Amino acid sequence: MQFLYPFISLLNEMSPYLLLGFLIAGVLKVFVPKELFIGQISNPAFHSVLWAALAGVPLPLCSCGVIPTAMSLRREGASKGATVAFLISTPQTGIDSIAATYSLLGLPFALLRPVTALVTGLFGGMATNRFEKKSPDNRPFAKEETTNYNSKNKVVQVLNYAFVEMIENIGKWLVLGILIAGLIAVFIPDSIFTSYLNNPLLNMLIVLAIAIPTYTCATGSIPLAAVLMMKGLTPGAAFVFLMAGPATSIASITVTGKILGRKTLFIYLASIIGGSIACGLLIDYLLPAQWFSMSMMNHDLLHQHHHESFSWIKTVCSAMLTLLLINALIQKYIHSAKLKNQSLTAKKYLIGGMTCNQCRMTVENALAKLPDVQSVKVDLQNGVAYVEGNPEDSTVKQTVESLGYVWG
């Protein structure tokens, strides 16, 4: 039974803050219109980059899910620098991950995540405007139609986005992060990093080599960072993992290079890597060490059963989050069943760069609006869109590429 304590403890510490973060994210999604800031980010100036970076910090979008949103802003007039700032600042953090970071890692980590995301977004956006001045403004796609949700109940929209869509988006990665963190807590010796890899900069470089090419959820990475710190990873290296991992993946790197160009891709990666390492070094060498101690997630919390660690509020929130995760799993199986039936008669389109449920919903919603399309289902695992109807292949291709995904 003692092997379950790390998993239960991690879930109990995170669940109240996650549910609150999800709710706030739902409110932002429904009640803060994109038009509020779209007019502020069209010029290649500092204020447009600042607006885009600020807008991206609270949004709970992953490194691949942010791509269609950024491309939509680009089509609607955002400058290339503002687009890059949004691409950098958004996946590094979000309302839900900030709340969860506070629950496990404390206030300093929770404050540094959005600040670093903002600064790296500003740097990347300004560098893009500076070095891409003479580049052509390659904005080939038509302005996307917006969907009118005025007829729907706003409260229902908030709850659906917060506790259905968001759980479907990050549920898999959140559960995976907690499971891996629990296994590390149980089976990996304490102080392994201080015993064998006691160089903070070396720790950061190793973390970067692992985190950059792999897909990491901003929220799911938090329990991993917490447990790795317990095993001796420096707080600065853990911070690099928290920032660089969620901001990059093979899919986001590929699509960013294809849509915005190699020079912009270099600026994008350099901003994320340089910013996360700079802040990591600041944490390890200049800021007070007691700010980043593992007081919340100490050894006893993960390895022993203490009644004070399991308050009623935490237990209820954990039960609610578990039920929401189960519902997300059920919805996935329902979607798979519908997909199996539709795949027999539908046209098939290969689409690259989709790695999360947000990607699936974005592609399905966009293709469903096309003429002569009756219904759309996306097989995320195999990267295939099944389209019922008879749309023009060229129109489907243009729509897919306008969202920032790879055709074929």
For the cut 60, the answer to whether the pLDDT of residue 380 exceeds it is yes
pLDDT of 322: 94
Residue 132 has pLDDT above 80, yes or no: no
Distance CA 405, CA 256 (A): 9
Q: What is the pLDDT of residues 253-306, one digit of tens each?
A: 877 787 788 889 999 999 999 999 999 999 999 999 889 876 444 444 455 444
Q: What is the pLDDT of residue 141?
A: 42
* Residue 309's pLDDT band (cuts 50, 70, 90): very low
* pLDDT tens-digit map of 60-108: 887 777 877 887 788 778 888 999 999 999 999 999 999 999 988 999 9
Per-residue confidence (pLDDT) for residue 196, from 0 to 100 = 59
What number of helices (H) and strands (E) belong to the chain? 19, 4
Residue 142: per-residue pLDDT: 40
* Cα distance between residue 174 and residue 328, in whole Å: 12
Q: Judge whether residue 242 has pLDDT over 80.
A: yes
Q: How many CB atoms sit inside 10 A of residue 299's CB?
A: 11
Q: How confident is the model at residue 57 (pLDDT cuts 50, 70, 90)?
A: very high
> Cβ–Cβ contacts within 10 Å for residue 320, how many?
15
pLDDT over threshold 70, residue 150: no
In this predicted structure, the answer to whether residue 133 has a pLDDT above a threshold of 70 is: no
pLDDT at 167 over 60: yes
Question: For 107-125, how does the pLDDT look when each residue is reduced to its tens digit (9 = 90+)?
Answer: 999 999 999 999 999 999 9
CA proximity to 71, closest of 58, 82, 59, 57: 82
Residue 99: closest CA among 13, 204, 163, 181: 13
Distance CA 206, CA 337 (A): 41
Q: In the sheet where 347-352 sits, what is the strand order?
A: 373-379, 384-389, 347-352, 406-407
Which CATH topology does 343-407 take?
Answer: Alpha-Beta Plaits (3.30.70)
Both tokens of 383, joined, read 């990267």
SS3 assignment, position 406: strand
User: Where in the chain are the domains?
Assistant: 2-314, 343-407
- What is the full DSSP assignment across 81-139? HHHHHHHHHHHH--HHHHHHHHHHH-HHHHHHHHHHHHHHHHHHHHHHHHHSTTS----
Q: What is the mean pLDDT of the chain?
A: 82
Please write the tens of the pLDDT for every residue from 199-234. Answer: 788 889 888 988 887 777 888 899 989 888 888 889
Mean pLDDT of 364-388: 89
pLDDT per residue as tens digits for the range 382-403:
889 999 888 999 999 999 888 8
Asked if 75 contacts 144 with a C-beta cutoff of 8 angstroms, the reply is yes
pLDDT at 131: 85
What's the average model confidence in pLDDT over 371-377?
A: 89
pLDDT value at position 321?
A: 92
Tokens 């949700």 correspond to: 149
Q: pLDDT grade, residue 314 (50/70/90)?
A: confident
